Chains A and B, each alone.
Chain A
């Protein structure tokens, strides 16, 4: 069964550094998402992306975050200047379409540790 793949599985970075988290969504999916889960907290929506544009973003997704689909297969999340509170598990997801019948498929996540 096709799946969403994320790399790396674990990233350690120093405060103030830039990180890029990478995702390969399922090939026929058109809608892409990033979520995060801080340890012990709920999974939170960050951003949705369709047709090379952000379609919705949360309050968390401020100017230090950006997303890009640099080619036909990858979907990336960049954090420009990491803070300690950015430490979390970041999940990429994709769906074939939106609407009431299209489930989201999630990757295994990238654990980001900011020291």
Chain B
């Protein structure tokens, strides 16, 4: 059974720091991996999607990597800003149905 784990559960950094969020999954047979952002009381916003054949994706200050064989992904945020404060969720697609299996998230606080 696929399990997704995110470390750390919470992270607090000063503004301007570069940071890395970690995601691991137990079964390497995935179609893709997505990183989402969730603001309190809000829905999930898709940040990056990495296809199973890809190693990384970049969008602005965000870079996500995928190592399927080791079951790991990282989300790198460069030059963090207070507006980046949110919960970041990692999710994998185990089959061709669109079903996502989520990690528990990392709650990020960026202090001005």
A interface residues with partner B (beta carbon < 8 Å): 4, 6, 31, 33, 35, 41-45, 48, 55-56, 91, 93, 95, 98-109, 111
Contact = CB atoms under 8 A, between A and B. Distances in A.
Nearest to A107: B43
Interface residues of B, number: 27
Interface string B39-59: 001111110010111000000
B24 interface: no
B46 A108 contact: no
Interface of B: 31-32, 34, 36, 41-46, 49, 51-53, 89, 91, 93, 96-105
Contacts of B45: 106
A91 B99 contact: no
A45 B99 contact: yes
B49 A103 contact: yes
Contacts of B91: 43
Given A106-B43, A106-B45, A101 B32 contact: yes
Given A43-B100, A98-B98, 15 more contacts: A4-B43, A31-B98, A43-B44, A45-B100, A91-B43, A95-B98, A101-B51, A102-B98, A104-B46, A104-B100, A105-B46, A106-B45, A106-B46, A107-B43, A109-B42
28 contacts: A4-B43, A6-B43, A31-B98, A41-B104, A42-B105, A43-B89, A43-B91, A43-B100, A43-B102, A44-B102, A45-B99, A48-B98, A48-B99, A98-B96, A98-B98, A100-B31, A100-B53, A103-B34, A103-B46, A104-B46, A104-B100, A105-B46, A106-B36, A106-B43, A106-B46, A108-B42, A108-B43, A109-B42
Contacts of B103: 42
B102 A42 contact: yes
Contacts of A99: 31, 96
B42 A98 contact: no
Contact of B44 (A41, A44, A101, A106): A106
A3 to B, nearest CB: 9
A36 to B, nearest CB: 11
